[in-house]
Amino acid sequence: MVYAGIAVATGTRHELDSESGMAHLVEHMTFKGTPRLTSLQILNRMERVGGDLNAYTGKEETIYYSIFLRQHLRRAIPLLLDIVFHSTFPQEELDKEVEVVIDEIESYNDSPAELIYDDFESLLFPGQPLGRKILGDADHLRQYRSADLRRFTERNYSPERALLFVKGNVSIEQVRKAIGTAEPAKDAIASMTSIDSIDSIASMASIDSIPPSLTGGGGSSILPKPVHQAHVMLGSRAYAYSDPRYFGLFLLNNLLGGPAMNSRLSLALRERAGLVYTVESSVTAYTDTGVWSTYFGCDAADVRRCLRLVERELRRLIDAPLPPRTLAAAKTQLKGQLGVSYDNFENAALGMAKRVLHDGRVTTPAEIFAAIDALTPALLQNIAADILDPARLTTLIYQPEA
């Protein structure tokens, strides 16, 4: 199995104020036709050989990728180059796809446990592009014409802002040959630099810098919603990809509310108190800032009690350093989880592409494990005081309507 794609350093953050939802809409429309291929031909190109063609849009990147058997490499790479750099955005397709995206928005609005993440970042980054919702809104989307999408891609989809990545049992020479068959996209790959390795294939030159770190944050808010239970999120701005404290926060987050049932928040809110079904925390890193947050859903009458329990767990990490045995166990658990996750090759390939796009290099598992092993109780306590202080957290609550 081979994973190949093109990662573009363009996302919601790069939209103008008049372009809400444009990055995501462009992602959808990239599959709707090029001078060489119709939308149906694009749809069938990889599907007919049992492969998959997909994409996603983030705040700082859009990634197009395909999964296929290695004998279809010469089919996949020219297709990816063609759709990313030569899409025509036909108006008749745009009119239909806008309604598809609006249906996606409505589906998202029906999922408060997902919607709250977007609303929380809007609170945390008020008035900033980073706080803008990826999907946009119906009013803006219905106003866009083909020429608007072309202007957006002309500004943001240059080869200098992109990289081609391949992960799988293929040689560098096979990748080069596949690129060489991409006749319609030769102008797009003219600036391709040398191919370094199978796991980090081809940088298309450096990406533009993004504005310096943002400071400050959003307020706290209670929003009435047509929900049966309260949905609560609290958190703060955190560290960028390149910040040396990132892995310390990553470990603290895993200890607090990671995927294991023995996380501290799961034990406190679910196992001991029986107040929630879901409680989790997460870390998101951007190029110059980040987000740490924790989420839970509970009966509206239990919100205050749950918040007190969360605050107690946060205070434990701030008020005293982790005992050596506790820290050793947390490190072992995190490294084990990461080791298991590397067997998900799709996520590994996409994570690799995103890291190279924004940080210029792949961080190997050995480097990550070494960074985790180097964490000390004192450093983790300082990180906890910096990020997890309950007095400085932003809180968002979806309150059931009366």
| Burial status of residue 319 (CB atoms within 10 A of its CB: 0-12, 13-18, 19 or more) | exposed
Shortest CA distance to 339 belongs to which of 365, 370, 375?
A: 365
* One domain for residues 46 and 87: yes
Q: Compute the distance between CA of residue 330 and CA of residue 347 in angstroms, rounded to an integer.
A: 23
Q: Kindly state whether residue 322 falls inside one of the protein's structural domains.
A: yes
289 and 396 housed in the same domain: yes
Burial classification of residue 299, based on how many CB atoms lie within 10 Å of its CB (0-12 exposed, 13-18 middle, 19 or more buried): middle
Phi, psi of 278 (to 5 degrees): -120, 130
What does the pLDDT read at residue 199? 38
Please report, for the domain that includes residue 40, its CATH number. 3.30.830.10
pLDDT tens readout for residues 30-76 = 999 999 999 999 999 999 999 999 999 999 999 999 999 999 999 99
In this predicted structure, the answer to whether residue 210 has a pLDDT above a threshold of 50 is no
State pLDDT tens for residues 124-174.
999 899 999 999 999 999 999 999 999 999 999 999 999 999 999 999 899
397: region left, alpha or beta (phi > 0 left; psi from -120 to 50 alpha): beta
Mean pLDDT (whole number) for 211-226:
64
Residues 229 and 197 in one domain: no
The helix-helix angle for 246-257 and 324-341 (nearest 10°) equals 90
Last residue of a domain, one of 146, 173, 203: 203
Is residue 225 located within the same domain as residue 184? no
Amino acid sitting at position 282: S
**Whether residue 191 is found in the same domain as residue 229:** no
Residue 301 lies in a domain: yes
pLDDT value for 191: 41
What is d(CA 227, CA 320) in angstroms, rounded to the nearest whole number? 38
**DSSP bridge partners of 231:** 297, 398
Among 217-226, 299-308, 322-331, 351-360, where is mean pLDDT lowest? 217-226
Check residue 185 and give its pLDDT.
47
Do 316 and 195 have their domain in common?
no
50 and 16 within one domain: yes
- pLDDT tier, 183 (very low <50, low <70, confident <90, very high otherwise): low
Q: How many domains does the chain have?
A: 2
Q: Does a structural domain hold residue 14?
A: yes
* 8 Å CB contact between 4 and 163: no
pLDDT in tens, 335-364: 999 999 988 989 989 998 998 998 888 888
Asked if residue 388 lies in contact with residue 310, where contact means CB atoms within 8 angstroms, the answer is no
Same domain, 191 and 264: no
Which residue has better confidence, 299 or 200? 299
pLDDT at residue 205, rounded to an integer: 29
Contact 18, 37 (CB under 8 A): no
pTM for the complete prediction? 0.88
Radius of gyration of the chain (CA): 22
347-to-51, 285, 286, 314, 338 alpha-carbon distances in Å: 16, 16, 18, 30, 12
381 and 354 share one domain? yes
**What distance in Å separates the CA atoms of residue 85 and residue 190, rounded to the nearest whole number?**
12
Cα separation, 20 vs 143, in Å, equals 11
Q: Residue 208 domain-assigned?
A: no
The domain boundary, picked from 145, 170, 203, lies at 203
Mean pLDDT of 105-110: 93
**pLDDT score recorded for residue 198:** 35
Q: Is the domain of 198 the same as that of 232? A: no
Q: Is the pLDDT confidence value at 209 over 50? A: no
Per-residue tokens: 276 = 């929630």
Domain boundary residue among 172, 203, 234?
203
Q: Identify whether 210 is part of a domain.
A: no
Helix or strand (DSSP H, E) at 200: strand 200-203
> Does residue 5 surpass a pLDDT of 70?
yes
Looking at every residue in the chain, the average pLDDT score rounds to 90
331/217: higher pLDDT: 331
Model pLDDT for residues 116-125, shown as the tens digit of each residue: 999 999 999 9
- Which tokens hold the place of 377? 């109780």
CB atoms < 10 A from the CB of 47, how many?
Answer: 11
Beta bridge partners of 63: 7, 56
Claim to verify: residue 56 and residue 181 sit in the same structural domain: yes
Return the pLDDT at 309.
Answer: 98
**60 falls within a domain:** yes
Percent of the chain with pLDDT over 90: 82
Are 341 and 304 in contact by the 8 Å Cβ rule? The answer is no
Give dist(CA 350, CA 55) in Å, integer. Answer: 10
The single-letter code of the amino acid at 59 is K
Q: Per the domain annotation, does 166 fall within a domain? A: yes
Domain interval for residue 255 = 221-400
Average pLDDT score over residue span 175-191: 65
152 falls within a domain: yes
pLDDT digits 0-9 by tens, 10-35:
999 999 999 999 999 999 999 999 99
Q: Are residues 243 and 287 in the same domain?
A: yes
